[in-house]
Chains A and B, each alone.
Chain A
Amino acid sequence: MFRDAWLIAGKDLRIEMRSRVGLNQIVPFAVTVLVLFAFALDTDQEALRTYAPGLFWVTVLLAALLAIGRSFAVDLADGAADRLLLSGIDPISVFGGKAAAIAVQLVVLEVLLGAGVVLLFDVTVHRYGLLVCAGLAAAAGVATAGTLYGALVAGLGVRETLLPLLLLPVVAPVLIGATRAFQDAFGVAGAEGWAWLGLLAGFAAIYGVFGAFSYGALLEEA
């Protein structure tokens, strides 16, 4: 099962490495959003520093929508999704592999955006351990929920507009938890960052289990 998941994740990541859509389009888009936030909040460096965790995670969620949409668009082309279904690979492995590939892309995005936030918004990191753990757990949560909803809307003519409507309210707890954890890690607000990490991990676990078991039914119809 893990070998198959590894194969699927490898396939998706290789496609991304070769097409460079993520690096050439999604990352610049995310950086643009950060710049727009700075324009919206004026030249007030203090406000930017205070709200940096929230702005960072909103940007990650917006970019994640693109990454998830892309992950399923790739499978739709040339009937790749049908062949994947016919390959006999367990849907749980397909789910795990696709979620892992999206999570890896999100982590790369977070690293690049994190550097952007440090440079542009002038924040300093106080707790690296918390930052890394919260970043990983939030990426896992968004990736598992995103893979579930991505499969649900894949193949629909309205998937680009439907995915944000379905996914964003669902990942609201990730936004809250990750923002609070990062506030603690950046030292901009007194939040119990490690407690929030529990929420993020719980979210990822629930969606991981739910997604893995309902994925077979969703794949058949896509």
Chain B
Amino acid sequence: MTTATTESTGTGDGIPATTSSRATKVLGWLTLAGFAVLVALAFAWVPEDTRITEQGDVVGQFDAVRLMFVHVPSAILAYTGFGLTFLASLAYVRWRTDWWDMMAHASAEIGVVFGVLTLVTGSIWGRPTWQTWWEWGDVRLVTTLVMVLVFVGYLAVRRIPADAVVQARRSAVIALVGAVNIVIVNRSVDWWENRTLHQQSTLIARKIRDETLFTLSFSFAVGMVLFAWLLLHRFRMAYLQRQIEELEVDEALAERRAEAGMSETQGGRP
């Protein structure tokens, strides 16, 4: 994963040389192993989804059901990411610490990645199952799309160079408004086209096969470990980024002092 050596930052001021740690290594290996098992389960163990109607027709999702093991966890991770961004932004407004700001940024980025993955896999799954790439009448689909767009805007704002406090405050407002907006979008789309293609009660009504249910649950677990691994790395990267920025400011100040004929020892470190 990303590394930032102490040499490249130009100091040895106790800044970690890497975003990796024992915890992330364990999580990383767990994700890899879990993903390998998930692929094996999804392709070798779970049967294709078919059932025979009263008329004797064979219907179902067939092999497309295997996409669920990527699509459903992705959707949950996207919502987890955005939910965490909302909570971290709320915490930032309350406590005003860099920690919460970096947490909001890291989780929003992961949320957008998994949000896009959800839309792409859902679209691919919808083609054979619903005979369409996109269905405007589906509330969850449209809400997820708007949510991803809102947080793409959030990330665009985060990329604008600005004072750290201004940046954090501005981002927190967008995240809070965006999260509240998701509820309004969800309600309005629901009323807009009061129907949904999503199977609401598959899990509850036990219409799902045991093998599929187990694999789906397993995919959630792998997804959560992956989320934790990504979040730790991304958070630490944001931390290192800030450290580098602070060092650059220090260096620039020292250079200006030197230019003005003052040595750093005379002027003291700021």
Contacts and interface: CB of A to CB of B under 8 A. Distances in A.
Same complex: yes
Contacts of A221: 163, 166, 169-170
A218 B192 CA distance: 33
Interface of B: 146, 149-150, 152-153, 156-157, 160, 163, 166, 169-170, 173-174, 176-178, 180-181, 184-185, 187-189, 191-192
Contact of A176 (B157, B170, B189): B189
Interface stretch (A8-16, A40-48, A102-110, A163-171): A163-171
Interface string A156-180: 1010001001100110110011001
Contacts of A165: 149, 152-153, 156
Given A172-B146, A210-B177, 9 more contacts: A158-B160, A165-B149, A165-B153, A169-B149, A170-B178, A176-B188, A196-B191, A207-B177, A210-B176
Interface string A186-201: 0000000001100100
Contacts of A162: 153, 156-157, 160
Contacts of A218: 169-170, 173
B243 to A, nearest CB: 24
Nearest to A165: B153
A50 B163 CA distance: 49
Given A158-B160, A165-B156, A173-B184, A152 B150 contact: no
Q: Kindly list the 7 A-B residue pairs having the minimum CB-CB distance in the complex, ordered from nearest.
A: A173-B188, A169-B149, A166-B153, A221-B166, A165-B153, A176-B188, A173-B184
A121 interface: no
A156 B157 CA distance: 10
A218 B177 CA distance: 13
Contact of B157 (A148, A166, A195, A210): A166
A217 interface: yes
A199 B166 contact: no
A169 B147 CA distance: 8
Nearest to B142: A172
A203 B178 CA distance: 13
A206 interface: yes
A203 B185 CA distance: 10
Nearest to B154: A166
A25 B169 CA distance: 34
Contacts of A166: 153, 156-157, 174
A160 to B, nearest CB: 13
Contact of B173 (A196, A199, A217): A217
- Interface residues on chain A, size class: 20 to 34
7 contacts: A152-B174, A169-B149, A169-B150, A170-B178, A195-B191, A203-B184, A217-B169
Contacts of B163: 221
A163 to B, nearest CB: 10
Nearest to B151: A169
Contact of A214 (B173, B178, B191, B192): B173
A177 B150 contact: no
Contacts of B173: 148, 152, 214, 217-218
A37 to B, nearest CB: 19
A139 B142 CA distance: 24
B185 A172 contact: yes
Contacts of A195: 191
B174 A169 contact: no
Contact of B185 (A148, A156, A173, A217): A173
Given A169-B149, A169-B153, A180 B192 contact: yes
Nearest to A166: B153
Contacts of A180: 192
B78 to A, nearest CB: 15
Contacts of B188: 172-173, 176-177, 199
A45 B70 CA distance: 46
Given A169-B146, A221-B170, A206 B184 contact: yes
A152 B185 contact: no
A173 B183 CA distance: 10
A176 B166 contact: no
A169 B160 CA distance: 20
